[in-house]
Structure 1
Amino acid sequence: MVSEPLPAASPMVIDYATRYRSDFMDIFLGAKCYFYIGDQSGLDAIPGIFRRPVATVNLSQFQRARTWGPDDLFVTKKLWLRKERRLVTFREIFDWHIDDVRRGEEYGRIDIEVVENTPEEITALAVEMDERLKRTWQPAAEDEELQRRFWSIYKADKLFHGEILSRVGADFLRRNRELLD
């Protein structure tokens, strides 16, 4: 639960977490939302069950990425190698078998700091999702190549994922090309 109310004076803002939250509304909102944006906390399963588009932020368990939804998008957390003072590339994440770490302490044991998505990265993902659903999204020339590079690195468990239909946030890949090396 959230301890402090949302400071919003607009009648268009519903302070769901502090005043209106209920199990029924969790299901109802997930079933009826235009799209859902959130992390891998489990609540993202509800819109998925109802075939609502999902934009996942702060993805850290790469093997648990929602890859089956044609309208689904995601952006990953970044991993910082403290000793080398650099980010871990996607290829290294898979080669080092840290693509399905479930507890943050496991990263600490190998001296990796987890970097959460920034407000700008989350906003860019939300805007991309909205524009894609409205069919107004204008991709940059390099976007398909960046997607291809990411998915060529991604080591999908074919039984779990099947055909990969989702996408990584375009702005995220543009701004983090070095992760594709």
Structure 2
Amino acid sequence: MIRPVFLVRIGVMRSDRIGHFALETELWLLEQESGVASRPKRSVDIWFAPEPIANRVLHKMWKQVLTIWPNWLMVSVFRINNLIPGAFAHQINKTTATCLDVHNLLDVYPPRLKFTATQIEQGHAGLAKLGMKPTDRFVCFIVRDSAYTKKAFPEKDMSYHDFRNCDVDDYVAGAEALADRGLFVLRMGSVVSKPLVSSNPRVIDYANSKVRSEFMDLFLGAHCEFNVSDGLGFYAIPAMFRRPNAYVNYSPFFMYYSSRACDLGIAKTMIDTATGKRLNLTEMGNRGVARFGETSQFTSAGVSVKSNTPSEIKDLMLEMLDRIESKWSSRPEDDELQRKFWEKYSEIIGPDRENFHGEIWSKYGAQFLRDNQDWIL
């Protein structure tokens, strides 16, 4: 009845996973601001965030820029609306590709959220408890394992994602190398399967510390020099606050985050289980495994997914730091290796190139490409 006067739309936030709650929401706002997504004239948008909410501090911060009403009211309103003819007109549109910035907006528009002066003081107090000063440079890193999903979603079988899991021990050499360059290195996470073991006082197992909180998760992600991630949801916090991400062990391969010029990374590789031979890019494309996204698909195809080695992880971390500090030494062949990789990558992921990527602005790890030129074939 009121639609001829103004349109009320309802949106369901992806609040159960931090990656979606942070970056998908940010991208929705940017797609509106940029004109990528059209918004009806004389419309009012009302959101709600279903339980479980991955980060309640972020929930409160989103209220700075979005109208978010309580679940006790909006869940029922949403369900009733869906029973009415024409319900779709009252639903807020989704982003183009969930958390993927296929329109390259993050490097063009500033962050939509800001920390208040009080929150910054709170963050500095948290740093002090970790033995850090506000002026200290630090890097975050997050390692995917099965601990979080088992606790957060005990009723669900999440084993289809097992191929994405990694071992925190493989990151220690890289973390200590960054610490030797004068940075603090913080292992992130809310629920983890095992502790980080390092004798370097600048390498901190924040995930298992008493300082760890939902607020500090946001503050650290928003203020780090860069973040090291395998694609686990925490990467979205640095991205939404325009901090760089350095990806190692990225998976699934076809969804590699390629849209930001400041990002750098390498993905997991794939092994033929019968021969033990690593598949090159052409073989990955021919066997279709470059587009797989579930553990069972790899198993059925006779392929195992191999994590990057500690040396490869360390090289990528140091390459990222060198690039940020303008110390990276490029070689004449680097541009050609990047071109060959991205050309072959775009070929073997087929239609997913258009579905999950815009313009490719990020770089693949130069050291990895130098050392693995036979893999680009």
Common topology (TM > 0.5): yes
Instruction: Tell me the distance in 2 between the aligned counterparts of 1:6 and 1:80.
Output: 28
Instruction: Tell me the distance in 1 between the aligned counterparts of 2:199 and 2:249.
Output: 29
Q: Deviations over 1:15-62 (max 9, x none)?
A: 201113222222111111100001111111111111111111112212
Q: How far 1:2 moved relative to its partner?
A: 3.5
Q: Does 1:12 align with 2:208?
A: no
8 A contact 2:229–2:250 mirrored in 1: no
Q: How far 1:83 moved relative to its partner?
A: 2.4
Matching residue within 273, 276, 292 for 1:85: 276
Q: Does 1:122 align with 2:313?
A: yes
Matching residue within 159, 164, 173 for 2:369: 173
Alpha carbons of 1:26 and 1:81: their partners in 2 closer, same or farther (altered >3 Å)?
same
Q: Which has the larger radius of gyration?
A: 2
8 A contact 1:4–1:18 mirrored in 2: no
Paired amino acid for 2:213:
S
Q: Does 1:34 align with 2:225?
A: yes
Across the aligned residues of Structure 1 and Structure 2, the Cα RMSD in angstroms comes to 1.9
Normalised by the length of structure 2, the TM-score is 0.45
Paired amino acid for 1:142:
E
Unaligned runs of 5+ in 1: none
8 A contact 1:60–1:101 mirrored in 2: no
Q: How far 1:150 moved relative to its partner?
A: 0.3
Unaligned runs of 5+ in 2: 1-190, 347-351
Instruction: Tell me the distance in 2 between the aligned counterparts of 1:9 and 1:153.
Output: 42
Instruction: Tell me the distance in 2 between the aligned counterparts of 1:173 and 1:162.
Output: 22
Q: Residue 288 of structure 2 aligns to a residue in which SS?
A: coil
Alpha carbons of 1:88 and 1:11: their partners in 2 closer, same or farther (altered >3 Å)?
closer
What percentage of aligned pairs have identical amino acids? 39
Instruction: Tell me the distance in 2 between the aligned counterparts of 1:93 and 1:42.
Output: 26
Greater alpha carbon shift after TM alignment, 35-44 vs 159-168: 159-168
Normalised by the length of structure 1, the TM-score is 0.90
Q: Deviations over 1:116-149 (max 9, x none)?
A: 0011001100111001111111012221111111
Corresponding position of 2:293: 102
Q: How far 1:178 moved relative to its partner?
A: 1.3
8 A contact 1:60–1:99 mirrored in 2: no
Paired amino acid for 1:177:
Q
Instruction: Tell me the distance in 2 between the aligned counterparts of 1:131 and 1:122.
Output: 14
8 A contact 1:62–1:99 mirrored in 2: yes
Greater alpha carbon shift after TM alignment, 130-139 vs 102-111: 102-111
Q: How far 1:106 moved relative to its partner?
A: 1.9
Q: How many equivalent pairs are there?
A: 181
